[in-house]
Amino acid sequence: MAFQNILKNFSSSLFGIVNAPGKDQLAEAVGEVTDQLGLKSFNISINIRQHEEFVFNPTLTNWSKEDVRLYVDSGCMEIDPLLRHIKETNTPLVWERESIRTPETEKLVGILQSLDVHGGIVMPLPARRGNVSGASFIQSGPSALRSDVLYSATRLTAELTMQRLDVLGSAGGAPGAAATMLDGLSDKQIEILRWVSLGKSNADIATILDLPRKQVDYHVSAILKKLGVSTRIQAAAIYAAQ
Q: Which residues of the chain have pLDDT under 50?
A: 1, 172-177
DSSP, residue by residue, 75-137? TGGGG-HHHHHHHH-SS-EEEEGGGG--TTTHHHHHHHHHTT--EEEEEEE---TT-EEEEEE
CATH level 3 topology of 177-240: Arc Repressor Mutant, subunit A (1.10.10)
Asked whether 188 and 178 are in contact (CB, 8 A), the reply is no
User: Quick one: which H or E segment has residue 52?
Assistant: none
Q: What is the pLDDT of residue 10?
A: 76
Q: What is the pLDDT of residue 4?
A: 66
Per-domain boundaries in the chain: 2-158, 177-240
d(CA 134, CA 32): 19
Q: Is the pTM of this model over 0.85?
A: no
Query: φ, ψ for residue 42 (rounded to 5)?
Result: -145, 160
Q: Identify the CATH number of the domain defined by range 2-158.
A: 3.30.450.80
Tell me, yes or no, if the two domains 2-158 and 177-240 fold the same way: no
Q: pLDDT by residue (tens digit) across 115-153?
A: 888 999 999 888 877 788 899 999 988 777 788 888 888
According to DSSP, the β-strands at 93-96 and 60-61 are unpaired
